[in-house]
Structure 1
Amino acid sequence: MLIDTHCHIDVTEFDADRAAVLARARASGVEALVVPAIDAAGWEALLALCDSAPPDGPSLHPALGLHPVYLDSHRDADLARLETLVAERDVIAIGEIGLDHHVDGLDPKRQRRLLERQLAIARAAGLPVLLHVRKAHDEVLALLRRHPIPAGGIAHAFNGSLQQAHQYLGLGFKLGFGGMLTFERSRKLRRLASELPLEALVLETDAPDLTVASHQGGRNSPEYLPEVLEVLARLRDLEPSEVAEQTTANARAVLSGLG
C-alpha cells in the first residue's frame, strides 16, 4: 500500500469528480493522502473534506499552513487562527510552508518572517512540517538549524543538491519525490533518487500539479502514484513491493498521525 504525502485533493480542479478520483486511487493501492493547505480561506473546507472522506477511498489527513507563493493573501491574524486550529483539530503537519525565490514579486523578508512564525507553531505543537522550497534550500536549512523542528518533516518536491539532501536528512527530514521523476529528462532528479538512502524517500503527487509523464499536459491525480513507484524501483533495481513497503514506512515515521 502507498501513501501520497502531498496531494491537493481539496482544490477546485477535483470538484467535478473527486469521489471517483479517490476511489480509483484506492483501487491503485493508495491507502492515505496528506492534504496540505495553501491559505487560510481554504482551511475549513479542507478539514471538512478530510473528516468526510468516502469509505471506498484513501484516508485523508489535513495539514494546515500558509504557502509562500500566496503571500499577498495571508494576514497576521491567520497565524493566530492557525495556532487555535492546530490545538483544536486533528492536524497531521504544518504545511505547506516555506520559501520561494523562483516566483517574481514575493517579498523575501515577509516570506522569511511567515516561515519563522509557522516553524514556531509547529515546534510548539510537536508537529512536522511540509516544506515548499524553490531556489532557497540553503536559506531554509539555515533557518531549520536555528529553529529546529524535533518532529522533522518533508522537503516536498525535492530538487536540491545531494549535499543539501543530506543536510535535510541530518535534521530529521524526508525528501518527497513525485511525477517529475517519471520524465527521462529529469536526469539530476533520477540520480538523486537512486543515490540517496531509500529510508530518506517518500512518494507524492502534488496533484493536480507536476503530473507524471504519461499524462503530460493534463491534471495530475493520486491514482498515478504507482507510476512514480515503478520508476523509483527501476532506478534502484529493486522490486516495487520493496520500495512501496519502505517508502510507506518512511512516511509513517515522519507523519506519526498516519498511525
Structure 2
Amino acid sequence: MRFIDTHCHLDFEEFRDSLPQHLTEAQALGIGQWVVPGVTLAQCRTLPAFAQQYPGVHIAFGLHPYFMAQHNAADMSDLAALAHLHRSQLVAIGECGIDAMVADIDAQQHLFIEHIALANALSLPLIVHHRKSHHLLAKAFKQCPPQNGGVIHAFSGSLQDAQSYLKLGFKLGVGGTISYPRAAKTRTTLAQVPLESLVLETDAPSMPLSGYQGQVNVPKRVVEVFEHLCAIREESPQDIAEVIFKTSQEILSL
C-alpha cells in the first residue's frame, strides 16, 4: 500500500535532529510523500530550500491563525509575492483559516479571505484550519468563493458540515482525532461520506493519536490513522488505501 501524509510540519523544531530517521521509518511503511504547510512568513521563506533537501516533501505557503499576534500588516502582501515567485513548488495555499479560540475573529476573517483570493489567483487548492469555526469559514467562502477546493485539515464535525465542504470541492483531512472515544460524531460522519472525499494526515509533531498522548507525533503514524479509518469504513483496506492515495494526488496535484 502507498500513503501520502497531506499535512505534517516536518520542519518544526521537534524534528530538527531526527527527521531523516523518521522519514526512513515512514518510507518503510509505504509513506512516500508529505505536504508541509506554511504557518508564518519567516517560516514560509525557508520552505523552498527545505523541500529540496528531502525528496517527496511538498510545500504550501500560509499564515496560520494561531500566530495572529506574530503576523504583521505587510505579511500577506509579502506572502503573495513569495507565492508567485515559488509557484512551481507550491501544492496549496495554507495553512490558513479561522480559529474561534484565538483573538480577533474579524482580523482572522479578513486574512483568510485574502488567502482564498491568493489561492484563486494562483489556481491552487487551500489547506484550511478550523476550530469551532465552521460557520465563520462558510461566511468567508460566500464572500470569496474558492475555485480549486482543497483540504479541510483535521476535519471534525457533522455530516452537514462535511457535505457543505464537499460541495465546494474540498476533501476532508482524517487525522488522529478519530482514534479518540470522544470523536464519535466525527467518526460517524467519516463513515458516511464518499470514500473519494477523504485524505490522510498526521499533523506531526502535533495531534498524537490515542495512546500516544503527551508524545511527539511522528510521520509513520499516518498508517495508524489509516487503520482507524478502516475500522469504521465498509470498503476493504486495499480499496481505501488506493482511493485515498489517488484523491490526495488529484486534489494537491502531486
| TM-score tier after normalising by the smaller chain length | over 0.9
Give the 4+ runs in structure 1 shifted more than 4 A: none
The 5 Å alignment of 1:226-241 reads 226-241=223-238
Provide the secondary structure at the position in 2 that maps to 1:186: helix
What percentage of aligned pairs have identical amino acids?
Answer: 40
Residue 22 of structure 2 contacts residue 219 of structure 2 at CA under 8 Å; is this kept in 1?
yes
1:152-185, Cα deviation, whole Å (9 max, x unpaired): 1111001122101100000000000111112234
In the alignment, what sits opposite 2:90?
A: 91
User: Following TM superposition, by how much is the alpha carbon of 1:240 offset from its aligned partner in structure 2, in angstroms?
Assistant: 1.7
In the alignment, what sits opposite 1:49?
A: 50
Q: 2:143 aligned with 1:146, yes or no?
A: yes
The 5 Å alignment of 1:171-250 reads 171-250=168-247
User: Following TM superposition, by how much is the alpha carbon of 1:44 offset from its aligned partner in structure 2, in angstroms?
Assistant: 2.3
* 1:99 aligned partner, one-letter code: I
Provide the secondary structure at the position in 2 that maps to 1:92: strand
> TM-score with structure 2 length normalisation?
0.95
In the alignment, what sits opposite 1:161?
A: 158
Distance in 1 between residues matched to 2:69 and 2:182, nearest whole Å: 34
* 1:153 aligned partner, one-letter code: G
User: Following TM superposition, by how much is the alpha carbon of 1:16 offset from its aligned partner in structure 2, in angstroms?
Assistant: 1.6
Q: Which runs of 5+ in 2 are unaligned?
A: none
Distance in 1 between residues matched to 2:104 and 2:181, nearest whole Å: 35
Aligned with residue 126 of structure 2, among 126, 129, 146: 129
Distance in 2 between residues matched to 1:210 and 1:175, nearest whole Å: 16
User: Following TM superposition, by how much is the alpha carbon of 1:239 offset from its aligned partner in structure 2, in angstroms?
Assistant: 2.3
Aligned with residue 61 of structure 2, among 45, 60, 64: 64
Give the RMSD, CA atoms, in angstroms. Answer: 1.2
In the alignment, what sits opposite 2:39?
A: 38
In the alignment, what sits opposite 1:10?
A: 11
Q: 2:254 aligned with 1:253, yes or no?
A: no
Q: Which runs of 5+ in 1 are unaligned?
A: none
User: Following TM superposition, by how much is the alpha carbon of 1:238 offset from its aligned partner in structure 2, in angstroms?
Assistant: 2.7
